[in-house]
Amino acid sequence: MFERFSIVFDFTLIAAESQPFGMRYHLDLMSLNLIDIFETGGWAMYPLAALSVVSVALSIERALFWLGLRRTNGRGGFVKLLTKARSTPPRELAATLGKRPGFYRRFARDLCSRLDGASPTETRLNAIAQELIERDRTAIERFSVTLSTIITAAPMIGILGTVTGIIRSFELLGDGGGVTDPTAVAGGVAEALLTTAFGLMVALLTLFPFVWSKGQGDRCLGRLEAVVAAVAAGGEDSVSQMSDP
């Protein structure tokens, strides 16, 4: 049996010492290339790498979508749309908007067109608005479930890689013949540490774009509801003007 086995950790160094043998093993992560790190980390590094690629791609797609929506609409354009909708009957508003680009303009135009120029009752307006909001919700919340799943799954895969690495290390430690090669034990510990760290990195890489995109989606849905309220106000004004002697 071996006398004592200790593991020493540093930010860039994993060292194993075994006093009966007088041996010391160093794994300097800064000196390894990407392929070596993946081979050291073990099997869990590959699904984590795939998740990181998917996360980056979806985050870029969401960023382009929201930045494009902000560019075509803008804060000033949205306020003008609300002002116009409050003071214009639905039929005239649909004709005024025409084919002008913009996410909120398209929503208001479709809403007014579906009303067929009739004075909108609350039930009819809410039914049409809910249908259009659900239609646009697909684009607003696109990939949200996928990003949320990556945030949850990446650390779990990293922990699973940690468990397998530790199991491999304890198998070596529990061998009846004792530890003859401490580098093998250190390799198992390195696998455990790398997969945990990489899993957390993937989760954090996904978390911030997901939270930002979710905030943008909530704001967008709130603005769609504001458009519905403005169109309803414009319809009520038109009804009151027609009823005045």
Domain coordinates in residue numbering, the chain: 5-239
Inform me whether the pLDDT recorded for 5 exceeds 50: no
| C-alpha span between 44 and 144 (Å, rounded) | 24
Q: pLDDT per residue over 91-108, tens digit each?
A: 888 888 877 778 898 899
Structure confidence at residue 23 (pLDDT)? 37
Q: Residue 29 in contact with residue 12, Cβ under 8 Å?
A: yes
Non-local CB neighbours of 72 within 8 Å, separated by 6+ positions: 101, 102, 103
Q: How far is CA 92 from the centre of its chain?
A: 40
Amino acid at the residue 156? M
The most distant pair of C-alpha atoms in the chain lies apart, rounded to whole Å, by: 106
Average pLDDT for the chain:
77
Radius of gyration of the chain (CA): 30
The conformational region for residue 88 under phi > 0 = left, psi -120 to 50 = alpha, else beta, is: beta
Backbone angles phi and psi of 220, in degrees to 5:
-65, -45
Structure confidence at residue 26 (pLDDT)? 46
Question: Dihedral (C-alpha) 120, 126, 129, 135: value to the nearest 10 degrees?
Answer: -140
| Residue 3 DSSP symbol | S
Q: Is residue 25 helix, strand or coil?
A: strand
Q: Residue 185 in contact with residue 241, Cβ under 8 Å?
A: no
| C-alpha span between 221 and 61 (Å, rounded) | 19
Instruction: Over range 190-204, report the average pLDDT.
Output: 86
| Residue 169 DSSP symbol | H
Quickly count: other Cβ atoms within 10 Å of residue 182's Cβ: 21
Structure confidence at residue 28 (pLDDT)? 52
Q: pLDDT per residue over 104-122, tens digit each?
A: 988 998 888 888 655 667 7
- What pairing do the DSSP bridges indicate for beta strands 23-28 and 13-18? antiparallel
Inform me whether the pLDDT recorded for 168 exceeds 60: yes
- Local confidence band at 7 (pLDDT 50, 70, 90 cut-offs): very low
Adjacency order of strands within the sheet including 23-28: 5-9, 13-18, 23-28
Q: pLDDT per residue over 10-31, tens digit each?
A: 433 334 444 443 334 444 555 5
Q: DSSP for 39-84?
A: HHH-TTHHHHHHHHHHHHHHHHHHHHHHHHHHHHHHHHHHHHHHHH
Per DSSP, the chain holds a count of helices (H) and strands (E) of: 7, 3
- Local confidence band at 217 (pLDDT 50, 70, 90 cut-offs): very high
